[in-house]
């Protein structure tokens, strides 16, 4: 199975900050990398697909980059509603896998 | 409205069985792959299984292979997850999700259904 490793596992930030989360795959996954946001008690929400394409309705402050094994999710100008847990997920192999998550909380 | 609604969760004893359902509405269900993802209390998301639009292809995570069976009834817009020989570590919220045709990602999720395996 392809292992997905996110860093950091958690971070504290302030409203307006630029936040960067990284995700590394154990082997090349081309651009088959998706990012999700999850808030407590809610289902995950797709933010970014294909490593860098913004899902419809997602604010432009969210962006994704990378290919191969190394990927980044960036939030430019963190908003109060962005405090949540973020997951990367690969859809390259037959068995899809998620990263362990990165919790973004208020500093 | 495009939506998925899971049902069937509950409390089951170790070694027991349960079937989860995922009913779709608002889109052409028979054209989409459907996946199951689970989340143990306080833990991260774990991919479980998937089924092709016509039901001819299924895949499973190693942790559930041989115990779980995914199937679908396109006439009823429903996907099922039959779970046998349940273990305490299967305790989780189970989500079904649709793979978007344009995105090749899980773009629509249900609200989840809770399974507790305990004696």
| B34-44 pLDDT per residue, tens | 999 999 999 99
* Distance in Å, alpha carbon of A61 to nearest chain B alpha carbon: 19
Chain B residue at shortest CA distance from A34: B105
* Distance in Å, alpha carbon of B13 to nearest chain A alpha carbon: 25
* Distance in Å, alpha carbon of A16 to nearest chain B alpha carbon: 27
Confidence of residue A94 (pLDDT cuts 50, 70, 90): very high
**pLDDT for A62:** 98
Q: Do A49 and B111 touch (CB under 8 A)?
A: no
**pLDDT for B34:** 98
- Reduce the DSSP state of residue A82 to 3 states and report it: helix
Torsion sign, CA atoms A40, B7, A97, B84? positive
Chain B residue at shortest CA distance from A33: B105
Number of H helices, E strands in chain B: 0, 11
Decide if B111 touches A, using CB distance below 8 A: yes
**pLDDT for A29:** 98
- DSSP annotation of B90 reads G
Tell how strand B92-99 and strand A97-98 pair up. Answer: unpaired
**pLDDT for A88:** 98
Report in angstroms the alpha-carbon separations of A5 from A33, A46, A54, A72: 12, 18, 22, 12
Alpha carbon B73 to its chain's center: 14
* Mean pLDDT, residues A27-53 taken together: 98
**Chain A environment of B111 (Cβ under 8 Å):** 43
Confidence of residue B91 (pLDDT cuts 50, 70, 90): very high
**pLDDT for A9:** 98
User: By percentage, how much of chain A surpasses pLDDT 90?
Assistant: 98
Would you say B95 and B36 are in contact if contact means Cβ atoms under 8 Å apart?
Answer: yes
Burial class (CB in 10 A: 0-12, 13-18, 19+), A92: middle
């Amino acid at each position: 199975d392809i292992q997905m490793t996110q860093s950091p596992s958690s971070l504290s930030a302030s409203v307006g900050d630029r936040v960067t989360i990284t995700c590394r795959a154990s082997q090349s996954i081309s651009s088959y990398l998706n990012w999700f946001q999850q808030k407590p008690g809610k289902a995950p929400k797709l933010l970014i697909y294909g490593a860098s394409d913004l899902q419809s309705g997602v604010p432009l402050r969210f962006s994704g980059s990378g290919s191969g094994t190394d990927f980044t999710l960036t939030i430019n100008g963190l908003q109060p509603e962005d405090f949540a847990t973020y997951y990367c997920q690969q859809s390259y192999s037959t068995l899809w896998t998620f990263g362990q998550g990165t919790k973004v909380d208020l500093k | 409205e495009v939506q998925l609604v899971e049902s069937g969760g509950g409390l089951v004893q170790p070694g027991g069985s349960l079937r989860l359902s995922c009913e779709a509405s608002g889109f052409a269900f028979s054209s989409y792959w459907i996946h199951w993802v689970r989340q143990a209390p306080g833990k991260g998301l774990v991919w479980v299984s998937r089924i092709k639009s016509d039901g001819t292809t299924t895949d499973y995570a190693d942790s559930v292979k041989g115990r779980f069976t995914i199937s679908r009834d396109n006439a009823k817009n429903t996907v099922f997850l039959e779970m046998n020989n349940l273990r305490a570590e299967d305790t989780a919220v189970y989500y079904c999700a649709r793979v978007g045709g344009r995105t090749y990602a899980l773009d629509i999720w249900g609200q989840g259904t809770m399974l507790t395996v305990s004696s």
